[in-house]
Amino acid sequence: MKKQFRITLNGKSYDVVAEVIGEESNAAPTGGARPARSAGAAAVAAPPAPPAAAAPTGGGSVPSPLAGKVVSIDVAIGAQVQAGQQVITLEAMKMNTFVSAPNGGTLKAVHVSAGDAVEEGQALLTIE
């Protein structure tokens, strides 16, 4: 079953058709009429929230929130960092993602270099 939605993103409207897979509907077909706009449809079409600061994977390591390329390491080994401070910049799909320290402490080790490809969950650095 296909459903038509109008999505407004940053002030620009888009008409999209989405196919519902694995769900059988008891509703009568709309006969090509556009469905009424509702808060429910807007909630389905909302873009995902940006990734939150990465949580430590144990032992003070900071994991990559996504697969991408390391653009820069924004702190030096031995530096004191505060919780929420930007520590690494990653690039994925031509967009930069800033990785923040999940907790305060001293930067003990950097496990990647600028230009390295990283996988989601890979340890980037260690803060203790």
CATH number at residue 111: 2.40.50.100
Provide the domain count of the chain.
2
pLDDT of 28 over the 60 cut: no
Q: Please check whether residues 120 and 67 belong to one and the same domain.
A: yes
What is the C-alpha to C-alpha distance for residues 98 and 101, in angstroms, rounded to an integer?
Answer: 10
What is the C-alpha to C-alpha distance for residues 103 and 87, in angstroms, rounded to an integer?
Answer: 11
Stated pTM of the model: 0.54
11 domain-assigned: yes
Largest CA distance in the chain: 66
**Tell me: the pLDDT tens digits for 68-92?**
999 999 999 999 999 999 999 999 9
Which pLDDT does position 48 carry in this prediction?
Answer: 54
Structural domain for 24, as ranges: 2-45
Per the structure block, which two tokens stand in for 23? 């769900």
In terms of Cβ atoms closer than 10 Å to its own Cβ (0-12, 13-18, 19+), residue 11 is: exposed
pLDDT of 56 over the 80 cut: no
Q: Please check whether residues 16 and 70 belong to one and the same domain.
A: no
Q: Please check whether residues 66 and 13 belong to one and the same domain.
A: no
55 domain-assigned: no
